[in-house]
Every structure is written in C-alpha cells, then in structure tokens.
Structure 1
Amino acid sequence: MRYPDLYILRHGQTEWNAENRMQGWLNSPLTPKGEMDAARQGEILRSRDLSGFEFWSSPSGRAVQTAAIACARLADSIHTDIRLREIGVGDWSARLRDELPMPDGPDPYMQQYAMAPNGEGFEALQTRAQAFLDDLTGPAVIITHGITSRAIRSIIVGEGALAKPSVHGGQGCVFHIKDGVQTLLE
C-alpha cells in the first residue's frame, strides 16, 4: 500500500523518561530538555514545505505539549487521535524500569513492553497504528510516542526503519517518510 508523505515526531523528554520510568498510557510533563527537544523539532519542520499537511497528535499530555511547541506557528489546528497514544504497559505503568524483570536478548527494553502484565502488546499496537494509517487522506505531521512511532514506521518502511535506532529514541528529531523511504532529520 502507498502512504502519504509523513513527518513523525516523538514527544520531548518527560520527567518519567529522565527517571527511566514506564509511562504507557499515563503521563508526565516535559522537562526543560523536552521543551528544547520540541523546539528543535519545530525548527526542523519550519524548514520544510508543509502546504496541505494535516497535523495529528496523540491525546496524551506529553504529545499535546510537544505539538503545541513544535507546531505553534505551522498548524491552524492539531487533531488528536487515541490510536496515536503509546503502547499500554498495564501493571507496569509508572514503575521504574530497574525494578522490573530485564529479559536477556538483543533488545531487552523492547522485550519489557511485550512482557508487561496486562499490557497492550505489540500486535494490538500494530492493529491500531495500521487503522490510523488507513484513515489518512493526505500528507501529515504526526506527534506520537517512541514505540508507537516505531510501529507506524515499520508498517510503512518495514523492519529496516528500526535498523539504526537513535540514542534519543526520536526525541528532538523528525522522521520523514516519503515513497516508503525513511530519513532521520536532526
């Protein structure tokens, strides 16, 4: 399937990101660094021609706060869609990662999301991300979360979209996807 031109932003650093705490569907506010992350994303977006683009955000406070900073002078309106929220981590919401079981393997942090008791799981996340993409009618700027961004990008680009993860998980940068090719804008 062919998808429209997309710019995908992860919210800026939050207080819980800085504490290495699982957020999932809960929220914590942006840190001063997170506000700078969002401002940097706004600088990147202002250098692009966004004529005809719609702006979509997760309804989570950290994403809405990022959208307000990054897109303030760019968007007439920013729509929210619950399908853009972060993966649910169930019983592990608000828990420090260091207190949780750390599986062995190539990507233990990602495995923690998969094993969270009463969590949403990757299959359900993929399903809602796909449904969001299927409903897009044109080019869009999407403000979302780290794992949801990964899901959206892997649907469009394939697993190659995740081959070179950034140290910051996308905070402060923008992923541009055009014609099935992903470019990291920093």
Structure 2
Amino acid sequence: MSDRLLVLVRHGQSEWNLKNLFTGWRDPDLTPRGVDEARKAGKRLKAEGLSFDVCFTSDLKRAQDTLDLILEEMGEDNLPVICDQALNERDYGDLSGLNKDDARAKWGEEQVHIWRRSYDVPPPGGESLKDTVARALPYYVKEILPRVLRGERVLVAAHGNSLRALIMVLEKLTPDGIMKRELNTGAPVIYRLNADSTVESVLDLAD
C-alpha cells in the first residue's frame, strides 16, 4: 500500500451548525458534540495505525480546535501545523450569521437553495463553491500535494466546502457530483495516492 497518505477531516459540529446558521468565515466555537466528534476522529485514526508528519488547517478556530483535539487523542501534539486562509470555509457573504429559515423568508426558498446548492452562483457578497475551489485548489497543488508525493503523511482539518474543493479533484467529480458529496462533521476520509497524484484507495470513516 502507498506511503503517500492524505487524510481530510471536516471540523466537529460548531455552535452555529447547531443553531442552523450560515457560518462561512465567522468564527464560532465547537459544541460539546463537536469536541466529542473531534476526539472520536483522533481515536479512529489511531486505531487505523496512522501517524502524521505535518498538518494543515484553516484560519478559523473550529478547524484548528478540531485538529488540536485529534492530535491530542493520537498523542501527536508536537507536529508542525500550517494555518492558511486558503483552507477557510466558503464565504457566505450577506448570509453569514443568518438562520437558514430566516434567509428563506427574506430571499425565498428557491433563491437560497440556488445559493447553497449551485456550483457557480454566489450569495450576495460571498463565494460560490467554484470560487472556493479557485482559492483552495491552487494551495493544495502548491503546498499540500508535493508533501504527500514526497511520502510525508499529511492531515488536513478544514471545512465542508474547502475540503470539497480538494475532493472534487481527488475523486474526479463533476460540479454536479461535488455538490451532492456529503462530508460528516468529524469523520476522517483517508486517501492513499499513486505517484502520479491519482487516488490508489479511499476509506471514509463516517458513521
């Protein structure tokens, strides 16, 4: 099996996930459930016999805290951690901080659905998933992928949409396919890559 290991983990449940709010670049804490999800992810990765050389995360504390808890459970607290805005969640612009039901009441259910589920239509003042891909993917290609291909074991703790940007390429999904790709909070996805950066194997540890 390949030593080219890449593990992606969406942060644990945040306070705004719980309250059904659009979060984006806002910075709420993890809920107690989110803390448990992160710790469980660390236990699962340890049970798989995995260890890491370097970690990447976003500038947002829900992802950083998730990473810290995972590494604590694995006994790998001293690994180098690289934080970058390129891995931040999709920016929801004017929707940020709004309850999703309130947003539907203001703009209409169909319009909010388009903003949430279309690939290239951004909400007012925010990013589409296409915009998020344009931000996150070059960072992956320049900073993360070369390390994996050198044989470093890499853990990325980030967000649903910034991770979708990477998964779109890894799993060769279409824009329609990536919009349907669900990522559970705190559930690691383990990739082994071939020397040409294609996926040799994938294991999703979702419940």
Which bracket does the TM-score occupy, shorter chain normalised? 0.7 to 0.9
Count residues with an aligned counterpart.
181
Partner of 2:9: 9
Check conservation: 2:90, 2:128, Cα contact below 8 A: yes
Structure 1 stretch 18-27 or stretch 74-83: which is displaced more? Answer: 74-83
Alpha-carbon distance change, 162 to 95 in structure 1, aligned in 2, over 3 angstroms = same
- SS of 2:76's partner is coil
Among candidates 149, 155, 170, match of residue 141 of structure 1: 155
Q: Percent identity?
A: 24
Amino acid in structure 2 at the alignment position of 1:178: R
Return the offset for 1:90.
0.7
Check conservation: 2:115, 2:121, Cα contact below 8 A: no
Unaligned runs of 5+ in 2: 149-153, 194-198
Amino acid in structure 1 at the alignment position of 2:20: N
Aligned-residue Cα RMSD (Å) equals 2.6
Check conservation: 2:37, 2:185, Cα contact below 8 A: yes
Return the offset for 1:177.
1.8
Unaligned runs of 5+ in 1: none
CA distance in 2, matches of 1:103, 1:14: 26
Partner of 2:203: 183
Taking structure 1 as the reference length, what is the TM-score of the superposition? 0.85
- SS of 1:117's partner is coil
Instruction: Flag the structure with higher helix content.
Output: 2
Taking structure 2 as the reference length, what is the TM-score of the superposition? 0.77
Partner of 2:130: 123
- SS of 1:9's partner is strand
Structure 1 stretch 131-140 or stretch 97-106: which is displaced more? Answer: 97-106
CA distance in 2, matches of 1:80, 1:21: 24
Return the offset for 1:19.
0.7
Check conservation: 1:157, 1:182, Cα contact below 8 A: no
